[in-house]
């Protein structure tokens, strides 16, 4: 079974020529996914000359397979980040994610990119319909810690669509 998002096959992705000569630049950015493209763009805004190189097609590997949701929520839970690195560093990790969303919104507006960028809430919920009180307690603690660190987070008995206990984090985004 082939697992390729429909937009990879249905939307043409511009191909760029191979680098066939030596070039003199201030910075070389390797990898032309969303992170590499954004990095190259921000460096170029500062006046630097930038070469962006990619071995495959631009935005076709991880970026091409993304669901295009943007969130400050890390894969590692905030409680674990705080236990491992302390509250300040946990907060800094989430602040960086929030700043990244703001920066993407700024670039979308400045460059007039038509990508349906929209601020939306994100939800984290229990896994499956057989969940324990321990999982609910974990989510409540996650929401409480997020709020303590200055993030808008609300525990809900039932998140939309899934009807499961979870946490709502407003002001995330999608495009």
pLDDT tens-digit series, residues 81-118:
999 999 999 999 999 999 999 999 999 999 999 989 99
User: What number is the average pLDDT over the span 19-34?
Assistant: 90
Q: Is residue 1 part of a domain?
A: no
Q: Are residues 37 and 118 in the same domain?
A: no
Q: How many domains does the chain have?
A: 2
172 close to 101: Cβ distance less than 8 angstroms: yes
Which one is predicted more confidently, 101 or 21? Answer: 101
Q: Are residues 46 and 81 in the same domain?
A: no
Which pLDDT value is given to residue 96? 97
Give me 61's structure tokens: 């590997």
Q: Are residues 77 and 29 in the same domain?
A: no
Which one is predicted more confidently, 175 or 171? Answer: 171
Q: Is residue 112 part of a domain?
A: yes
Tell me the pTM. Answer: 0.80
Q: Is 40 helix (H, G, I), strand (E, B) or coil?
A: helix
Domain that holds residue 151: 69-174
Which one is predicted more confidently, 17 or 8? Answer: 17
Q: Are residues 151 and 165 in the same domain?
A: yes
Give me 6's structure tokens: 């429909």
Closest CA to 164 of 153, 175, 156: 156
Closest CA to 108 of 93, 119, 94: 119
Q: Are residues 165 and 84 in the same domain?
A: yes
- How sure is the predictor about 175, in pLDDT bands with cuts at 50, 70 and 90? confident
- How sure is the predictor about 55, in pLDDT bands with cuts at 50, 70 and 90? confident
pLDDT above 70 coverage of the chain, percent: 87
Tell me how far apart the alpha carbons of residues 136 and 142 are, in angstroms, rounded to a whole number: 10
Q: Are residues 109 and 136 in the same domain?
A: yes
Which pLDDT value is given to residue 16? 75
Longest C-alpha distance within the chain, in Å?
62
Q: Are residues 19 and 34 in the same domain?
A: yes
């Amino acid at each position: 079974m082939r697992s390729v998002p429909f937009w990879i096959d249905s939307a043409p992705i511009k191909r760029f020529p191979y680098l066939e000569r030596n070039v003199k630049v201030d910075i070389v950015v390797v990898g032309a996914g969303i992170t590499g493209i954004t990095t190259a763009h921000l460096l170029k805004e500062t006046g630097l000359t930038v070469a962006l190189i990619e071995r495959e097609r631009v935005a076709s590997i991880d970026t091409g397979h993304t669901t295009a949701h943007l969130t400050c929520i890390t894969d590692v839970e905030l409680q674990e980040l705080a236990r491992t690195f302390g509250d300040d560093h946990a907060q800094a990790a989430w602040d960086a994610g929030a700043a990244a969303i703001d920066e993407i919104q700024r670039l979308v507006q400045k460059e007039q990119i038509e990508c349906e960028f929209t601020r939306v809430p994100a939800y984290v919920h229990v896994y499956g319909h057989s969940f324990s009180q321990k999982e609910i307690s974990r989510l409540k603690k996650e929401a409480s810690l997020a709020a303590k660190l200055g993030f808008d987070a609300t525990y809900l008995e039932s998140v939309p669509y899934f009807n499961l206990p979870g946490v709502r984090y407003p002001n995330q985004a999608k495009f």
